[in-house]
Chains A and B, each alone.
Chain A
Amino acid sequence: MEQSDATAVAQVRAGNPDAYRVLVERHSHSVFRLAFRMTGNQQDAEDLVQETFLRAYRQIGRFDGRASFSTWLYRIAANCSLDLIRARKRRQEQQTPVNEEGEELGAALPAADPAPDRLAFSGELKQLLAPAIESLSPMERTAFVLRHYEGMCIEEIGKVLGVNAGAAKHSVFRAVQKLRRTLEPALSSAKS
């Protein structure tokens, strides 16, 4: 029978590090997806997965079971990702505004042959999405990733972010507003 997260956590806390393996193997994929969407980089995401599980192990004595283990783990993963993003932001210069790229993209789309257009657009669209996500503040990015890709409800997002549901909701709203502002011009010109 499959061991529950709660049982594995109890064993780890009782001094059995091997029980942690169940938790690592069960949650690595979802933590990786979250980390990748937060950072947009596979190597960073893999490093963050390790950092998340090491940090969670060190702090497991404080997991109180009020939220599920996965929510608690997401909270740690989100914090690790935010640390990385902030550190990266400090090091990097401001990126080229995405809007310029969007305008060029719209102008470059020929109207005669829809199928290749659509193919080209799909490729270029992907290039627009990552910078669009990167333009969000760390809090907005986390809230959006959790809502859009992980399908979490607003209340759960609040738990992961350590804020109330209202603040979590507004982070999602702000994120969507910024994404619309960035992507709508490109999408509209592709449609016309």
Chain B
Amino acid sequence: MKHLNQDELVLHYYGERQDPEAQRHLEACEECRAHLRSLTRVLDAMNALQAPEPSEAYGSRVWQRIEGQLEPAPARWWAGWFAPRRLVAAAAMAALLVAAFLAGRVSQRRQIAGLSAPVRERILLVAVGDHLDRSQMVLAELVNNESKGSVDISDEQQRAEDLVGENRLYRQAALKAGDRAVSSVLDELERVLLEIAHSPSKLDSAEFDEIRRRIESEGILFKIRVVSTNLREREMPQSGKAGRSL
């Protein structure tokens, strides 16, 4: 067996790699053991950086400080979109559809999980359309925000983070189905959502303008609208276009 690299030694130090072969190699190889000792010395030294331990009453003190600032959370107009049941259903649907499309590549003619290809396609179209609508809401809220000075986008960030995972699954399904138009828009959307999710939550006006400029310069909102319209047309059974793509 070849020597363990630093990354493997790090995993070993943290007990995340329990590979018997690596363990045997370590026992037999003085060079790797020396590297591990050196790594251990550095990481053990980091333990000297202790956080002060707050008193037992610390939790109560925090509560007293924030209690007056808590009000029953008002229901947001979009809250229904993020209800746990809906999120779980959306995730399950996305996973089912991705699995169905992946399986469909192997055996195009077979029906997957009792669903025919046109029915699978229509379900996916509805799910992707729904995802695009929610993404559009997040982006539109940011673009149309007219706040002056510092802006708190933590709400939009959280929603963007939630959308990123779903977006990946739909993009993957669109790619497998060979629908380049949809996969390309989902790809661009993912980059914008990630940028929002990884931005600071509180932005000064220049930073916020930069995010808005980015959304507008990509024309992503326009592209989403176009794709959504196309998807809605394809959703309609009378359109007779089912089975063409995605």
Contacts and interface: CB of A to CB of B under 8 A. Distances in A.
Interface in B157-184: 157-159, 161-162, 164
B10 interface: yes
Contact of B51 (A33, A64, A87, A173): A33
Interface in B82-139: 82, 84, 87-88
Nearest to B69: A54
Interface stretch (B38-46, B211-219, B222-230): B38-46
Interface string A21-41: 100111111001100110000
A42 B16 CA distance: 31
B63 A24 contact: yes
Contact of A177 (B6, B67, B84): B6
A121 to B, nearest CB: 10
Interface stretch (A93-101, A110-118, A180-188): A180-188
Contacts of A64: 82, 84, 87-88
A133 B87 CA distance: 37
Interface stretch (B23-31, B140-148, B196-204, B233-241): B196-204
B1 interface: no
A147 B62 CA distance: 26
Interface string A153-175: 11000000010000001001100
Contacts of A66: 87-88
A187 B42 contact: yes
Contact of A154 (B16, B41, B49, B202): B16
Nearest to B87: A64
A133 B84 contact: no
A24 B58 CA distance: 10
Interface string B42-61: 11011011011110001110
Given A58-B155, A129-B46, 8 more contacts: A24-B66, A36-B52, A42-B52, A57-B66, A65-B84, A125-B48, A173-B7, A191-B41
Interface of B: 6-7, 10-11, 14, 16, 38-39, 41-43, 45-46, 48-49, 51-54, 58-60, 62-63, 65-67, 69-73, 75-76, 79, 82, 84, 87-88, 154-155, 157-159, 161-162, 164, 197, 200-202
7 contacts: A12-B73, A24-B62, A58-B155, A61-B79, A61-B82, A130-B49, A154-B16
